[in-house]
C-alpha cells in the first residue's frame, strides 16, 4: 500500500491536499513539523504540542547519537519511548551537519569524519552509520545521508555534492530499516536547474517513499530559494510526499505549498520567540518593544492559543525584559500554534477549493519583516 495518498489538487496553483501513513499514525498534509533536535521542542512539552495539533516531530541523528547516545535510547526502547511521544517522528540523517559543521569535518568517499562539537572526539557518519542510527531510533521517516553544499559553493563543488548525494542515497536505500520505517531521498543541486533536475530524476529511479528538497535555507536570498524548489518539484512523482527542509516563515510556507510542497520544518517559531518576536496573521511583531509596555491586548486578538487566552502583551513584555522563562515559553507556545494553525487553514482552504483566495490575502498581510529574515539567516548559519 502506498504511504502517500494524493487527495486533491488546487486548480490555481501546484498545491496539494494529501495524507501520509506512517507506523505511528496518519499525517494530513500540508504539514508543519516542530523541530525537536535534542528529542525536545525547545520550551514546549508534549501535551502542549498535541493540544496545538502537532501531527509529527523532527529529531536529529547526529545530535542524538552524541547525546544521550544510542545505548541510552536503545535501553529506553527507541526514541518514541525515550521522549514519551506517541505520534510520528521524522529524523534528519545528520547530512545537514556536513554543511553546518564545515570547520570541524572532513568529507571522505563513504561519509564524513567529524570532530565532535562537544569535546573534539573523532566521529564518523556515513550512509550506513546514519541509517543504522535511525533504525535504532525507530523513527517513522528516515532521511538519507546527503551532502548539502553551502550557498557560495562553486559549480564544481555543487557537482561533487550531487554525485556524493546520489552515491550515498543508493547506499542508504539498501540498508536495513526499522519495521514500517519510510525513507526519503534528498535532492541537492544548489541554484543550478540542470543539477536539480538530474539529482531528482536519479533519486526517483531509486524509488524512495518520499522526496525532500535540500540545500535550501543555507544563506541564499529568498528568490533563489524559491527557484531551487521550482527547479526540483516538477521532477518529483505526484504520488509521493515532497518535503522542503528547514523552511520557513509563514509567508514562505504558503508560497511553497503553492509550489507543490507538502511538508516543512523550521526552528524559527521557538528561536525568534526567545528574542521576543511573535508571528501573527498580520505579520511579525516585537513584544519586547516599548510600544507594548501598556498594551493589554493578547498577542493576537483571534488566536485561541493558551498564551493569547491568558496573558497580555504588556505582561509578556515584562516577563521578557526581566528574563523570566514564562515569557519566552508563552511566545514559543503562540508562534508554534500559529505555524500549525496556518497549515490547518491551508488544508481547509485546499479542501474547499479556496486556497488561491487565502494565499493572496495571507501574503498581503503577512510579509516577513527584516528582523525575521535576519533571524532566518542566523538559523541557517
pLDDT in tens, 163-215: 999 999 999 999 999 999 999 999 999 999 999 999 999 999 999 999 999 99
Candidate list 146, 163, 265, 295, residue with the active-site label: 265
pLDDT tier at 135 (50, 70, 90 boundaries)? Answer: very high
Distance, in Å, from the CA atom of 163 to the CA atom of 173, rounded to the nearest integer, reads: 15
Residue 378 pLDDT > 70: no
Residue 376: what pLDDT? 47
Residue 116: what pLDDT? 78
Contacts of 131 (CB under 8 A, 6+ apart): 93, 142, 144, 145, 172, 175, 176, 177, 183
Distance, in Å, from the CA atom of 18 to the CA atom of 143, rounded to the nearest integer, reads: 20
Q: Which three cell numbers stand for residue 140?
A: 517513522
- Lowest average pLDDT, out of 122-126, 284-288, 314-318, goes to 122-126
| Residues 359, 365, 366: CA angle, nearest 5 degrees | 80
State the burial class of residue 304 (Cβ atoms within 10 Å of its Cβ: 0-12, 13-18, 19+): exposed
Tens digits of residue pLDDT in 210-229: 999 999 988 899 999 999 99
Residue 380 pLDDT > 50: no
Residue 98: what pLDDT? 62
Candidate list 10, 45, 92, 146, residue with the active-site label: 92
Residue 47 pLDDT > 80: yes
Distance, in Å, from the CA atom of 19 to the CA atom of 25, rounded to the nearest integer, reads: 10
Q: What is the DSSP letter of 298?
A: -
Residue 212: what pLDDT? 98
Helix (H, G, I), strand (E, B) or coil at 196: helix
Residue 374 pLDDT > 60: no
Q: Which three cell numbers stand for residue 354?
A: 479556496
The CA–CA distances, whole Å, from 27 to 22, 108, 126 equal 8, 37, 29
Residue 215's nearest CA partner among 284, 146, 277 is: 146
Residue 118: what pLDDT? 78
Q: What is the DSSP letter of 138?
A: T
pLDDT higher for 212 or 380? 212
Residue 373's nearest CA partner among 217, 215, 216, 227 is: 217
Residue 381: what pLDDT? 45
Distance, in Å, from the CA atom of 63 to the CA atom of 179, rounded to the nearest integer, reads: 23
Q: What is the mean pLDDT of residues 247-251?
A: 95
Residue 144 pLDDT > 50: yes
Residue 350: what pLDDT? 98
Residue 296 pLDDT > 90: yes
Q: How many CB atoms lie within 10 A of CB 294?
A: 10
State the burial class of residue 108 (Cβ atoms within 10 Å of its Cβ: 0-12, 13-18, 19+): exposed
pTM of the model: 0.94
Average pLDDT, the chain: 94
Residue 100: what pLDDT? 65
Per the annotation, the verdict on 265 as an active-site residue is: yes
Q: What is the mean pLDDT of residues 89-114?
A: 81
Please compute Rg for the chain using Cα positions. 20
Q: Which three cell numbers stand for residue 58?
A: 523532527
**Parts of the chain belonging to CATH 3.20.20.105:** 4-265
Q: Which three cell numbers stand for residue 27?
A: 499525517
Fold entry, domain 4-265: TIM Barrel (3.20.20)
Residue 236's nearest CA partner among 204, 199, 196, 191 is: 204
Residue 372 pLDDT > 70: no
Residue 289: what pLDDT? 94
Residue 161 pLDDT > 70: yes
Amino acid at each position: 500500500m502506498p504511504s502517500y495518498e494524493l487527495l486533491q489538487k488546487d486548480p490555481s496553483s501546484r498545491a496539494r491536499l494529501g495524507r501520509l501513513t506512517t507506523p505511528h499514525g496518519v499525517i494530513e498534509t500540508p504539514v508543519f513539523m516542530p523541530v525537536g533536535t535534542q528529542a525536545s521542542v525547545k520550551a514546549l512539552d508534549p501535551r502542549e504540542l498535541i493540544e496545538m495539533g502537532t501531527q509529527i516531530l523532527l529529531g536529529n541523528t547526529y545530535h542524538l547519537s552524541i547525546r544521550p547516545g544510542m545505548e541510552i535510547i536503545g535501553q529506553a526502547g527507541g526514541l518514541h519511548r525515550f521522549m514519551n511521544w506517541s505520534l510520528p517522528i521524522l529524523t534528519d540523517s545528520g547530512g545537514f551537519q556536513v554543511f553546518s559543521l564545515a570547520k570541524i569535518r572532513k568529507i571522505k568517499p563513504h561519509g564524513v569524519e567529524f570532530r565532535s562539537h562537544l569535546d573534539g572526539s573523532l566521529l564518523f557518519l556515513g550512509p550506513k552509520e546514519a541509517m543504522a542510527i535511525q533504525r535504532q531510533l525507530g523513527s517513522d521517516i528516515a532521511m538519507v545521508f546527503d551532502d548539502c553544499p553551502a550557498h557560495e559553493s562553486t559549480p564544481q563543488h555543487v557537482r561533487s555534492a550531487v554525485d556524493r548525494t546520489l552515491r550515498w542515497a543508493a547506499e542508504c536505500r539498501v540498508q536495513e530499516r526499522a519495521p514500517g520505517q519510510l525513507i526519503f531521498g534528498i535532492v541537492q543541486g544548489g541554484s543550478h536547474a540542470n543539477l536539480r533536475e538530474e539529482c531528482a530524476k536519479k533519486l526517483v529511479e531509486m524509488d524512495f517513499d518520499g522526496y525532500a528538497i535540500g540545500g535550501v535555507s543555507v544563506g541564499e536570498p529568498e528568490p533563489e530559494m524559491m527557484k531551487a524548489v521550482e527547479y526540483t518539484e516538477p521532477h518529483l512523482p505526484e504520488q509521493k510526499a515532497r518535503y522542503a527542509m528547514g523552511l520557513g516563515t509563514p509567508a514562505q510556507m504558503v508560497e511553497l505549498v503553492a509550489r507543490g510542497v507538502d511538508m516543512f520544518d523550521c526552528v524559527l517559531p521557538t528561536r525568534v520567540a526567545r528574542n521576543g518576536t511573535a508571528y501573527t496573521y498580520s505579520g511579525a511583531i516585537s513584544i519586547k518593544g516599548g510600544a507594548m509596555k501598556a498594551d493589554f491586548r493578547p498577542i493576537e486578538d483571534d488566536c485561541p492559543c493558551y498564551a493569547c487566552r491568558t496573558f497580555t502583551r504588556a505582561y509578556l513584555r515584562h516577563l521578557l525584559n526581566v528574563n523570566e522563562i514564562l515569557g519566552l515559553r508563552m511566545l514559543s507556545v503562540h508562534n508554534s500554534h500559529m505555524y500549525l494553525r496556518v497549515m490547518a487553514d491551508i488544508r481547509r482552504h485546499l479542501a474547499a477549493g479556496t486556497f488561491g483566495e487565502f494565499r493572496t490575502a495571507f501574503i498581503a498581510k503577512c510579509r516577513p519583516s527584516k528582523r525575521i529574515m535576519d533571524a532566518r539567516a542566523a538559523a541557517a548559519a
